[in-house]
A and B are shown apart, each in its own frame.
Chain A
């Protein structure tokens, strides 16, 4: 029975962690679908978002004196505005100048970007780790003996809201459908009068937006905030591959499954099997290789034949 309760607790906590992986995966799936560029800087975008939010929280906290909901809300709003500007700048600095270069060049540029961002943040914020604030402190909810952290619940809730908004945008609004059309066939999209360059800009902005939100959600879950947070973004890759690379639903489901696998293997499984404990860091990567061997198109991916 105890094991059972433990597993449920870990699953919920895993879903929370997985929701964040899902959001990161969603961020680069958006860019991949639209431009076929794999953005290796997605984790760093998240890290920058977390730092910016930290900066806003400390600024507003210094003014109001106590950590009220208002402080966190203002900081959140500030970070969102920042992410819009950030995404827009990235479009002009990375995407537009390289638009006629091979995809490979752009991917290399995103790797450079990830390293530059990590260094820049370290220069500006200093090398010390920060202790992130959590709007919920250590509060927990108890339900029939199952203990759930309020923070985890808020993460799951935020992820659901965000994914719902995105779903609505993509499938029901003109600009959302135009984004899908552009990713399917940019040439035909241009012939419809869709301003393709602006759509690509919008994709980068969205991507920075979800990255920032995932950074804000993830930071309080970690005991320390430093620039290595960006590496966590890499874990979203196995998540996306598991779901089916390039599928939005796949990114979300894959992310959640990865989060649950990781949490359970770190918890119950490590407790019972010592050897698993030593393997925690590589478990998602083992899953990645297994998926690539057994079902390379992932859970939601469709085998696609590209027309030449």
Chain B
């Protein structure tokens, strides 16, 4: 469904992605793991057209989508929930959802989708006339996801949905993601919460400084000592004196 081949993306002169190749098959939940600054967010931004890769190709459902404007890519069925949610704080909850459905022309369809969103997250219905910025982090995340779901995307890109949420809310959000996946949405999930992400994912990629470093299923990745070392927090034993010797 989604295929990246040798994608290289720059921010000005800084190279953020050094030839990333990955694939998401229809119905899968794929996760990208990696430390801060590894380029996870850049991969998602490259897919949805917010940044344009210098090299490489991105295909969605067989069509080439790098070089397209973001609005075109959205209209093809790619939803993107950005890092830190980025809801429109001064707009009401209802207006936020309306914007999520900006590309929907038929009024009835738009109305139905909004009803579905309210059905899924009753709290949003309760707050529909409230300014979105006044809601709690968890509620904002639910709004951000509902907003992206308004167009019924075939592929949903989720960028660290658990960021800044309490452990209890993180659990809720992951339950929601699992449910979405079950209902047939293909998902590409970026997370720092490695254990949780891998536990719901079909396949995972590990990214280090702009390169895919490892990939595999949950079990395969858990077996990899390197992942455990670098991302699951078990750490390598380093002699402290060595740190001072400068070698």
Residue positions of A touching B, CB distance < 8 A:
174, 177-178, 180-181, 184-185, 187-196, 307
Contacts and interface: CB of A to CB of B under 8 A. Distances in A.
A192 B148 CA distance: 7
A257 to B, nearest CB: 24
Contacts of A307: 84
A109 B80 CA distance: 35
Interface of B: 48-50, 69-71, 74-75, 79-80, 82, 84, 86-91, 95, 98-100, 102-103, 147-148, 151
A11 to B, nearest CB: 33
Given A180-B88, A181-B91, A193 B82 contact: no
A190 B100 CA distance: 10
B88 A191 contact: no
B69 A181 contact: no
Given A174-B98, A181-B99, A187-B82, A193 B74 contact: yes
B50 A191 contact: yes
User: By DSSP majority rule, is chain A's interface helix, strand, loop, or mixed?
Assistant: helix
A178 B103 CA distance: 11
Contacts of A196: 71
Closest 4 CB pairs of A and B: A193-B74, A190-B70, A188-B86, A193-B103
Contact of B151 (A180, A184, A188, A193): A193
A184 B89 CA distance: 8
A14 B102 CA distance: 42
A192 B101 CA distance: 7
A307 B85 CA distance: 13
5 contacts: A181-B99, A185-B88, A188-B88, A192-B103, A192-B147
A188 B143 CA distance: 13
A121 to B, nearest CB: 37
Given A190-B49, A191-B86, A196-B71, 12 more contacts: A180-B91, A181-B95, A184-B88, A187-B86, A188-B88, A190-B71, A191-B48, A191-B74, A192-B147, A193-B71, A193-B74, A193-B75
Nearest to A198: B71
Contacts of B95: 177, 180-181
B86 A192 contact: no
A99 to B, nearest CB: 13
B102 A190 contact: no
Contacts of A193: 70-71, 74-75, 102-103, 151
Contact of B71 (A177, A181, A194): A194
Contacts of A177: 91, 95, 98-99
Given A180-B90, A184-B90, A192 B99 contact: yes
Contacts of B88: 180-181, 184-185, 188
A186 B210 CA distance: 26
B100 A192 contact: yes
A190 B74 CA distance: 9
A180 B100 CA distance: 14
A190 B98 contact: no
A223 to B, nearest CB: 43
A191 B102 contact: no
A195 B86 contact: no
A97 B89 CA distance: 30
Nearest to B100: A192
B52 to A, nearest CB: 12
A195 B99 contact: no
B50 to A, nearest CB: 6
Given A180-B91, A184-B91, A192 B82 contact: no
B91 A192 contact: no
A185 B49 CA distance: 16
Nearest to A175: B102
Contacts of B75: 193
Contacts of B74: 191-193
B50 A187 contact: yes
A178 B147 CA distance: 14
Contacts of B48: 191
A153 B247 CA distance: 83
A185 B86 contact: yes
B241 to A, nearest CB: 39
Contacts of B89: 184
B185 to A, nearest CB: 16
Most B C-beta atoms less than 10 A away, residue of A185, A191, A307: A191
Contacts of B69: 195
